[in-house]
Chain A
């Protein structure tokens, strides 16, 4: 058989420090995926998935951009391996989107009248104060509150 090139994952330095947290988050995600749908609304079943995905990306973003504890190489490695969402982090770098919950909530094509989700509206401008957005269960991700 001809030689098949395999891609073996080579972990950069510093990986051992972040690996336990990442593994924990991964197992949390697996649990959320296996959860039963009883007692939840149809849209509500997906909320934990979005929440944990946000948490994972947030962890890596914080480590690199805020606390500067990992190297660029390790950061890129995490993004490539799928431990964090590159597009979501790209939004967090923009002013006004620092706390964005998920990418669906800012997509105008997904909403009536080409607007965004209600969770993007700051609480002092809203009429209903308590709201859980239908996409990800977010209660408010505007940068102000």
Chain B
């Protein structure tokens, strides 16, 4: 009953809001998300003031997520209310601040009464509309941050937590247990603290990212002076020759662009060697077209050599461990390197002068949000095969999932350490009705005519 006695505008400085400030990864891939709003439900983890808590499920495989910090705190640092990562780049606060050399840390107090007062003051001024200085909009993106930023939403963080009973071997719930039955990944990265992450001090994930950024070098030009061609990998059907031209024209005159869609790659040839080197230097870790991070390497003549940069590979291996920051294109390139040249050569038309083509990357549509079928649009052939598979029971599910485009990979392929296959999920928004139950076959009665 107490809540009915509260006034409309909380003079105590309690916060009310209409929609949470969240990033794409936390919102999820489902366009039909259903969110509940509870006013003053919890206290902010940073400033401990009551605020409006929103709770929703970011997708089928996801646990329920709710906003953890209030909007005031999230606006102060321009972070998502749930994951406390930057809204624009998806990076931890410490990484973003060091990369962009912002330092608002002195202004924000961290001790008890001080921080509550500061938060309230800020809130009051923001509501009054005056003096709202948010430096985040004005800062220009620089090189480092472009290299480090996350380009696609990362839904793996929305998975259910690991079942703590399973770790001890005692989970009696079995199949209906909603938690993940995997062994947890422990290590230095697991000791994270929400306050440290928010204020940008002592964050182990940020340290790791910054170290990796420090070691990222530009690719070295090859010894053979006649090579003026750059290999661009990780392409998608949406990326056109015009897109490549737009990105590469600035560095010099382009002699030719050859796209090999079969291998999801392209070769950009410049007229001069210097232009190619300049392009390589400028774009090497930063090439992002239409949200897709592309890999840039030097092209090679047809005599294949055993692979280059052992160091680059090693660095990239290390980077893979960090929550999948590395784009899939790079990982698949890595894995594809040791392929013998003969197999690729067969599939390339002979006049192709440059050979630096690793096998086709595994993922065509990389994320469910890129796959039109999942967003509710009906694709008749796929749908037909999908619904005809379903009544056959769970045993058939694996073949059903195999038929779907690779975009379902994140759902259909088992996690590396998972105990069970992920089930096949029909697309969001529309469930085709099951076929009517098969009637018993009645032997036709022979009636005398």
Contacts and interface: CB of A to CB of B under 8 A. Distances in A.
Contacts of A132: 176
A127 B371 CA distance: 20
B5 to A, nearest CB: 23
A125 B431 contact: yes
Contact of B60 (A112, A113, A127): A127
Given A113-B34, A127-B60, A130-B174, 12 more contacts: A39-B172, A112-B36, A124-B391, A124-B434, A125-B431, A127-B423, A128-B178, A129-B394, A129-B423, A130-B175, A131-B176, A132-B176
Interface string A105-136: 00000001100000000001101111110000
A131 B178 CA distance: 9
Q: Which has the most chain A C-beta neighbours within 10 Å: B172, B174, B390, B391? A: B172
Interface in A87-113: 112-113
Kindly list the 7 A-B residue pairs having the minimum CB-CB distance in the complex, ordered from nearest: A130-B175, A130-B176, A124-B434, A132-B176, A127-B60, A131-B176, A125-B431
B425 interface: yes
Contact of B390 (A124, A127, A131): A124
A67 to B, nearest CB: 26
Interface string B163-175: 0000000001011
B425 A127 contact: yes
Contacts of B172: 39
Interface of B: 34, 36, 60, 172, 174-176, 178, 390-391, 394, 423, 425, 431, 434
B36 A113 contact: yes
Contacts of A39: 172
- Chain A contact residues: helix, strand, loop or mixed: loop
A102 to B, nearest CB: 18
A8 to B, nearest CB: 46
Contacts of B431: 125
A128 B34 CA distance: 18
A128 B391 CA distance: 16
Contacts of B178: 128
A127 B391 CA distance: 14
A132 B173 CA distance: 10
A145 to B, nearest CB: 11
Contacts of B174: 130
Interface in A8-31: none
A124 B392 CA distance: 11
Contacts of B425: 127
A7 B190 CA distance: 69
Contacts of A124: 390-391, 434
A127 B178 CA distance: 12
Nearest to A112: B36
A16 to B, nearest CB: 42
A97 to B, nearest CB: 20
A128 B175 CA distance: 9
A124 B34 CA distance: 21
A115 B241 CA distance: 50
Contacts of B391: 124
A128 B423 CA distance: 9
A34 B36 CA distance: 39
Contacts of B423: 127, 129
A127 B434 CA distance: 14
A125 B434 CA distance: 9
A88 to B, nearest CB: 24
A54 B421 CA distance: 35
Nearest to B437: A144
A65 B321 CA distance: 64
A127 B30 CA distance: 14
Contacts of A127: 60, 423, 425
Contacts of A129: 175, 394, 423
Contacts of A112: 36
A113 B175 CA distance: 26
A45 B174 CA distance: 18
A44 B106 CA distance: 51
B64 to A, nearest CB: 10
6 contacts: A113-B36, A127-B60, A128-B176, A128-B178, A130-B174, A131-B176
A132 B176 CA distance: 7
A125 B172 CA distance: 26
Contacts of B34: 113
A134 to B, nearest CB: 11
A128 B179 CA distance: 12
A130 B423 CA distance: 12
Contacts of B175: 129-130
B368 to A, nearest CB: 14
Contacts of B390: 124
A112 to B, nearest CB: 6
A113 to B, nearest CB: 6
Interface string A69-98: 000000000000000000000000000000
A129 B420 CA distance: 14
B99 to A, nearest CB: 40
A136 to B, nearest CB: 14
